[in-house]
Amino acid sequence: MSDRAQKRAVFVISVAAELAGMHPQTLRIYERKGLIDPYRTPGGTRRYSQEDIQRLKLIQQLTSQGLNLEGVKQVLALRDELQRLRAKVAEMEKRLDAVTREAEQKMRELHRSYRREIVVRSEAWPDIRRPSP
């Protein structure tokens, strides 16, 4: 868990269980099964964040719809992977926009340099295509 998530992990197990509408033992079972990973203080006390509470509510919703805990675990893994991929796509889009802007700027600079290098043909070759007197 990141430092930021640790700071937001403020609920002890009894409060987290009440907020999620579950028994504290259910939270311990879910942790053993790998469905939830609460922050642990240096003394070993579980601390739950608001994100953990939301995850517990999702687990409860999925089990009430008939999924067993292994199915819930797979759904949560897919959900986590989807969030990770969405974040990666957003980062890649941001980088692509920056590279596109840079390429467009370089292209504009290149086009401006062409204008300075263009020489009108009649000035460069005065004898070409001039009518004979």
User: Per-residue confidence at 109, pLDDT binned at 50, 70, 90?
Assistant: confident
**CA–CA separation, 25 vs 76, rounded Å?**
20
φ/ψ bin of 27: left (φ > 0), alpha (ψ from -120 to 50), beta (otherwise): alpha
* pTM reported for the whole predicted model: 0.66
Predicted local confidence at residue 79, as pLDDT: 95
Average pLDDT, the chain: 87
Domain boundaries, given as residue ranges, for the chain: 3-66
Task: Spell 99-128 as b/e; 16+ CB within 10 A means b.
Answer: eeeeeeeeeeeeeeeeeeeeeeeeeeeeee
Predicted local confidence at residue 122, as pLDDT: 59
> Which of 118 and 105 is assigned the larger pLDDT?
105
**CA–CA separation, 103 vs 111, rounded Å?**
12
For the stretch 26-81, pLDDT in tens is 999 999 999 999 999 999 999 999 999 999 999 999 999 999 999 999 999 999 99
Q: Under CATH, to which class is 3-66 assigned? A: mainly alpha
Give the SS3 label for residue 2.
coil
